[in-house]
Amino acid sequence: MKSKKTIILAIIFICSLFAVGYAQELKSKRYYNAELDEVGSASIGFLSKTPLTPEFFEKILSNKENATVIEKLSKMTVWLCNQALDEYDFKEGESYVVICRSASVPYQSVSVFLTITEQGRFFKWWAFVEKEQ
């Protein structure tokens, strides 16, 4: 009974996450990184005023068929996350999702779920890459 309740709550939460995303109109914005001489785009959405948990990320990932967890973010992806975060007046402990695309890898996106840490200087993250079809 408890696991059934957990699954139902997870589904409701995931649906609300997508509803929030559409309500925020996750518009993609293009950026140029002069240091890397690379163009990319990023979309950002606010998730929560509280930190994300590994369990939250696992629930999101369990609904993705062609997603691969990544252990290290590229320089471009980190840079795109920071550019997207600059669109917000973020605070420590808040959580966001940033969807990054790079012109050098046109048919995949990196979804970064992050929580702001250390007074806004860093972020803790979980991410996966999806190949678009």
Q: Which residues contact 126 (CB under 8 A, 6 or more apart)?
A: 52, 54, 57, 69, 112, 113, 114
Q: How many domains is the chain built from? A: 1
pLDDT digits (tens, 9 = 90+) for 9-45: 455 555 454 544 444 567 899 999 999 999 999 999 9
Cβ–Cβ contacts within 10 Å for residue 40, how many?
24
pLDDT digits (tens, 9 = 90+) for 115-127: 999 877 889 999 9
pLDDT digits (tens, 9 = 90+) for 36-71: 999 999 999 999 999 999 898 888 888 888 899 999
Helix, coil or strand: residue 98 = strand
Q: Which residues contact 107 (CB under 8 A, 6 or more apart)?
A: 131, 132, 133
Q: DSSP E strands: which ranges in the chain?
A: 29-33, 38-48, 67-70, 95-102, 105-117, 122-131
| Structural domain boundaries, residue 45 | 2-131
Cβ–Cβ contacts within 10 Å for residue 31, how many?
17
